[in-house]
Structure 1
Amino acid sequence: MARRKEEANGIFSEDILSKLKETKKDLLQEEQKLEEEKEAQRIFERKEREKNLSFAELLERHGDKGNKF
């Protein structure tokens, strides 16, 4: 009977398919989390680099836009 169930669904049984789908979902969530962490790290590093720039470098980079802050 179990053999027929496997044949009807293809190679894998329903239990295995559900486990595979859950694993795929978990892996996609982990990958998204890693991408978000990388983006946050890039933003942090950019801000840190800007903190270390001199006033002349900042003025050269951003120019005199007329904004007070």
Structure 2
Amino acid sequence: MKNKGKKQKNVQQASHKRTNDDSLKLGDLVKGDIMEQLRKTQKQLADEESAKKEAEEAKKKEERRLKEKNKSFEELLNESGMDWRKFK
């Protein structure tokens, strides 16, 4: 009976050691030069994404400007806050 208790303890300790080994991070397993390359790629993707957002905002701003420029008289009159009845 004592042997069974010791075996179970050893099995528990072995499984505990495996979970500690499994907690290694990717950075621990990958060499430094590869990590540096991954960081550069990540930074490049972030820069591209921000440039894309800026271009999209500029495009929207230009579309709004052109839409405002090409409004008809009726649209301008409807947007006006003046009430023509007051000046009658």
Whether TM-score is above 0.5 comes out as yes
Question: Which residue number corresponds to residue 10 of structure 1?
Answer: 28
Task: Mark the runs of 5 or more structure 2 residues left unpaired by the alignment.
Answer: 1-26, 83-88
* Distance (Å, rounded) in 2 between the aligned partners of 1:19 and 1:10: 15
Say how many residue pairs are matched.
Answer: 56
Determine which structure has the larger helix proportion and give its number. 2
**Structure 1 segments of 4+ aligned residues over 3 angstroms from their partners:** none
Q: Find the structure with the greater CA-based Rg.
A: 2
Task: Mark the runs of 5 or more structure 1 residues left unpaired by the alignment.
Answer: 1-8, 65-69
Provide the identity percentage: 39
What TM-score does the superposition give when structure 2 sets the normalisation length? 0.57
What TM-score does the superposition give when structure 1 sets the normalisation length? 0.71
Q: Go from structure 1 to structure 2 and tell me whether the alpha carbon gap of 1:62 and 1:15 turns closer, same or farther (over 3 Å shift).
A: farther
State the superposition RMSD in angstroms. 1.4
